[in-house]
Homo-oligomer: A and B are copies of this chain.
């Protein structure tokens, strides 16, 4: 008998199922069709890096009552069999003649009947992870009108984390904290940025990350211009500000925060930028409460940056975090999602130093009844300096 997946006890998944089915009931959804790695991991505990291969679709269906059903390639049957899921239906994928569409059709008929509504995430931050042609065929067989948008169902359930989930995120945050504390071991003048990136990933692994799904960053004199690039071979120089931003993973849960370092003494503009970012985050940590909207948090952060005499910059100023690197909501002026107790969020204010050169600063928190609890160790108030 293979060992059961031990990421969480089955009760954790039963609670998730109950929460899904409770929201589904209020919306009259007979079955929820999930196709993505994060949603499927969330419902089943099925954790694998095999999603990296686009070759095969995977499906999990949450019925209005009863247990979830997995409709998956046979190559995944053993691993799915070690989760709490017991109804596992397989086909030999990839099959150019029928890559699971008939089996999925039959399963949806089993679970949603001939006319029950089938919920499918179709909104912001969702993707359908199956070929569009196969989805068209599925809608032809079942009736396109039966498919309804389930983005809200998935968002409202997944966005509030259990204590078990918060513990996982705290663990990976602590791993990244330890790796960031060791950056002075790997960053120095003449060290090429791409070598720093490689070595920082090694530090994360040494400190206990299972893998490193995301690393971005930048370095430039007194600030940087872009935060999504992979590293180039430019050597670090005295006067640079180095930023590393990582989404490392442990047991399927992500951290997502960054740290800035001055290579040698920082100039005044960089010091002021870091101080403004620190102060803006302090303000948000002090003021944020459940019941506020994501747009309220945006207003708090931009107001606090301006109060420091600095100019807000960057994209959104934070977002959800959990089983993917970024989750809804987005901390923007347009996102009016209610922030609830148990949400895990990033606070990610940015300031413009000079046109095209800025600084960004990120912490991870869980929102409690009385305000934010930090999951990342707080960055120091003064921009850390790596002596040269």
Interface residues of A (CB under 8 A from B): 2-3, 6, 38, 47-50, 52-55, 73-76, 78-79, 92-97, 99, 120-133, 135-136, 149, 151, 194, 197-199, 201-202, 205-206, 208-216, 225-232, 247, 314-316, 319, 324-326, 328, 330, 332, 334-335, 356
**CB atoms of A99 and B124 under 8 A apart:** yes
The answer to whether B213 touches A52, judged by C-beta atoms less than 8 angstroms apart, is: yes
* Nearest residue, chain B, Cβ from A324: B54
Question: Is A55 a contact partner of B215 (Cβ separation < 8 A)?
Answer: no
Q: Is B75 a contact partner of A228 (Cβ separation < 8 A)?
A: yes
Q: Are B330 and A94 in contact (CB under 8 A)?
A: yes
Chain B residues lying within 8 Å of A227, measured Cβ to Cβ, are 75
Docked-complex contact A53 and B215, CB < 8 angstroms:
no
Residues of B near A324 (CB, < 8 A) are 52-54
Can you list the 4 inter-chain pairs with the closest CB atoms, starting with the nearest? A122-B133, A53-B326, A122-B132, A50-B228
Residues of B contacting A50 in the complex (Cβ-Cβ under 8 angstroms)? 214, 216, 228
Among B47, B149, B201, B326, point to the contact of A205 (Cβ < 8 A): B201
Bound together, the chains give a CA A63 to CA B315 distance in angstroms of 30
A194 touches B210 (CB 8 A): yes
Chain B residues near A210 (CB-CB < 8 A): 194, 197-198, 230-231
Q: How far is the CA of A285 from the CA of B228 in the complex (A)?
A: 41
Counting every copy of the chain, the complex holds 2
A229 touching B48 by the CB < 8 A rule? Answer: yes
Q: Please give me the residue from chain B that is nearest to A214 by CB atom.
A: B52
- Shortest beta-carbon distance from A49 to chain B in Å: 5
Q: How distant is A322 from chain B, measured CB to nearest CB, in Å?
A: 12
14 A-B pairs (CB sep. < 8 Å): A48-B230, A49-B228, A52-B326, A53-B324, A54-B125, A75-B227, A76-B228, A94-B316, A96-B335, A121-B132, A132-B135, A198-B208, A201-B212, A202-B205
Instruction: Tell me if B133 and A55 are in contact (CB < 8 A).
Output: no
A126 to B136, alpha carbons, bound, how many Å?
14
Minimum distance in angstroms from A376 CB to a CB of chain B: 18
Min C-beta distance of A381 to chain B, whole Å: 27
Q: Tell me whether B205 and A78 are in contact (CB under 8 A).
A: no
Task: Return the contact of A226 from the options B78, B211, B231 (Cβ within 8 A).
Answer: B78
- CB-based contact B48/A216 at 8 Å: yes
Give every chain B residue within 8 A of A216 (Cβ-Cβ).
Answer: 48-50
Cα-based distance from A94 to B335 in the complex (angstroms): 9
Q: Is the CB of A230 within 8 A of B49?
A: yes
A149–B134 alpha-carbon span in the complex (Å) = 12
Closest Cβ–Cβ distance, residue A214 to chain B (whole Å)? 5
Give complex CA distance A124, B135 in Å: 11
Which of chain B's residues have a CB closer than 8 A to the CB of A124?
55, 94, 96, 99, 131
Complexed CA–CA distance, A76 and B78 (Å):
40
A50's closest neighbor in chain B, by CB? B228
Known: A50-B216, A215-B211. A334 touches B131 (CB 8 A): no
Please tell me if the beta carbons of A125 and B230 are within 8 angstroms of each other in the complex. no
- Cα distance A12–B133 when bound, in Å? 31
A302 to chain B minimum Cβ distance, whole angstroms, is 14
Contact B2 A225, beta carbon cutoff 8 Å: yes
Nearest chain B residue, comparing its CB with the CB of A2? B225
